[in-house]
Amino acid sequence: MRKTLFLDRDGVINHDPGDYTMSVEEFVLLPTTIQALKSAADKGYQIIVITNQGGIAKGLYDHAEVHRMHAKLQAACREAGCEITHFYYSPHHPDFSKSLTRKPNALLMERAIARYQVDTAQSIMIGDKLRDIQCAAAVGVKGIQIPTNDDLITYVSALN
């Protein structure tokens, strides 16, 4: 069993402009993101991203663009000597379809827990919305809600 740092994406890892991050050009990492992810990895955490990407359902961007954003982040992580274990995202939006993958539902976290042997008692979810914390609570993971676009390193530094 492995301790895991679950992270929301927009507003935690990258700058959230207030609506949607629609392209890799708009995907701007927050200043301490890579330092925070490296610190978490050095503390023995595997890192998994769990994110709602409802803009796909709205037709604002597509799956390929999400994959480009995630590849950009993964490349920056690898350059720093760490890695994101997996990216899980829900392409659904409640105005268009219902899905158990969309937070606050916990299906994506359940999948991650099963696939990557997550020790829920030692794991943390950091998100900037209540739905992130509700999702984590549903699977027995402690949630930490932070202000949108805050300094991630502050919270990761406090982890064991």
The two structure tokens encoding residue 94:
């409640």
* Half-sphere CA count of 72, side-chain side, radius 13 A: 17
Set 8, 16, 128, 132: catalytic member = 8
Q: How far is residue 114 from each of residues 2, 77, 118, 133, measured CA to CA in Å?
A: 11, 24, 7, 19
CA separation for the pair 125, 118 (Å, rounded): 12
Set 10, 16, 128, 132: catalytic member = 10
Residue 47's DSSP bridge partners are 5
User: Is residue 10 annotated as part of the catalytic site, yes or no?
Assistant: yes
User: Is residue 42 annotated as part of the catalytic site, yes or no?
Assistant: no
Q: Specify the DSSP element, H or E, that contains 77.
A: helix 63-80
Q: Measured between alpha carbons, how far apart are the two ends of the chain, in Å?
A: 16
DSSP state of 89: E
Residues involved in catalysis: 8, 10
